Chain A
Amino acid sequence: MLNEGLSARSPKPKAKMNRLYPLLLLVAAAMFAYAPFMILAAPYESTMGLIQKIFYFHAPVAMTMFVSAFVCGIASAIFLFGGRLGADRVAMAAAELTSILGLIVLVTGPMWARKAWGVWWQWDARLTSTLVLWLIFQAYLLLRRFGGPGSDRLAAGVALFGMANVPFVYWSVNVWRTVHPTTTVVPSLQPGMRGPFWYCFLAFVLLYVSVLGVRTRLEKRRAELEALYLAVEE
């Protein structure tokens, strides 16, 4: 599936890592194949009924999005202050993933809201701050794409602000009176719901790690291609 190309110079551990990602992806896929059965078997929520089942994907994806924003922020900090180019590639991959995960959260959420609250969207603290977080990472991607040379460092700065935003998003439901469920929901899940929830979360984390690895590899190959083009010029 992923051919090694001309990375004859890459050290053995990296090659092993590259075989790990497709494996993780397969494991995640298998977990997802089984997930619907678990979700269907889970008890209904008393006030919301069937619509609450969106929770088993919506909340884990949101949590993974937070993780991804942190990964991007930390990798950006390492790149900015440590100068490690590898970290910048991870940051780019993580930012794109944060954007994708955010898209999922921002679409599945309103699906749930339409039934549970009667409206597709509310400008409450949780929804607004999540949208803002997503926009910050969109800005990151736009900057990397259109900012020209030097935009890697600038984007790293933006990612740090994005990462600083995450705790704000998380705590917003507890600080303000919002329609969105608070953070006490997950720790207080009943056994019937707890199982499918953490199972789905694990599946998404595995999916995230494997896709991050593959996407980072794409960045690395792009960088190698750039270097090759420069070599041809000489």
Chain B
Amino acid sequence: MSRGTRLLAGLVLTLALAAPAAFAQQPPSRPQVSDPAQQGFVPADKLPQQEPIPAAPLVAFAYAFVWIVVFGYLWSIWRRLGTVEREIQAVSKRVTSGGRG
């Protein structure tokens, strides 16, 4: 099998394994029932109130994420720029100080 076909077969396999996840919808959240109704079912008019998801940690994390990514990216550019500038200094010294040839 050529390398290309092998790669593709691997991709198909991986995607085939992952496909059910992609097709899945989020399952509807089930109501919390404290006593499992094993003896008999008790009908109810409304679903019992669920624990509300706290908003503050989500908001905090969202903003924190933005800052982390922005600073991280700026730092990454700064670092890369520094490396390139250093290399330019080094190579241009070689060019100016002794021309080979």
Q: Which chain A residues have a beta carbon within 8 Å of chain B's beta carbons? A: 2-3, 5-6, 36, 49-51, 53-54, 57-58, 61, 100, 103-104, 107-108, 111-112, 114-115, 118-123, 207, 211, 214-215, 217-218, 221-222, 224-225, 228-229, 231-232, 234
- What residues on B are CB-neighbors of A218 within 8 Å? 77, 80-81, 84
**In whole Å, how far is B83's beta carbon from the nearest beta carbon of chain A?**
10
Closest 8 CB pairs of A and B: A51-B55, A119-B26, A111-B62, A50-B55, A108-B62, A228-B91, A111-B58, A221-B84
Beta-carbon contact of B101 and A234 below 8 Å: yes
Q: Which residue of B lies closest to A117 (CB)?
A: B26
Beta-carbon contact of B55 and A224 below 8 Å: no
* CB-contacts of B58-101 with A (<8 A): 58-59, 61-63, 65-66, 69-70, 73-74, 77, 80-81, 84-85, 87-89, 91-92, 94-95, 100-101
Beta-carbon contact of B58 and A54 below 8 Å: yes
Beta-carbon contact of B73 and A54 below 8 Å: no
Task: Tell me the bound Cα distance from A211 to B74 in angstroms.
Answer: 8
Beta-carbon contact of A51 and B59 below 8 Å: yes
The 8 Å CB contact of A229, one of B53, B61, B73, B91, is: B91
**B34 at interface (Cβ–Cβ under 8 A)?**
no
**B29 at interface (Cβ–Cβ under 8 A)?**
yes
Chain A interface, >50% SS class: helix
- What residues on A are CB-neighbors of B77 within 8 Å? 211, 214-215, 218
Beta-carbon contact of B92 and A57 below 8 Å: no
Count of A-B residue pairs with CB < 8 Å: 91
- What residues on B are CB-neighbors of A231 within 8 Å? 95
Task: Tell me the bound Cα distance from A214 to B91 in angstroms.
Answer: 22
Known contacts A104-B65, A108-B66, A215-B77; is A51 also within 8 Å of B26 by CB? no
**B44 at interface (Cβ–Cβ under 8 A)?**
no
Task: Tell me the bound Cα distance from A215 to B75 in angstroms.
Answer: 11
Beta-carbon contact of B100 and A232 below 8 Å: yes
- What residues on A are CB-neighbors of B25 within 8 Å? 123
Task: Tell me the bound Cα distance from A86 to B85 in angstroms.
Answer: 19
**In whole Å, how far is B39's beta carbon from the nearest beta carbon of chain A?**
31
- What residues on A are CB-neighbors of B53 within 8 Å? 114-115, 118
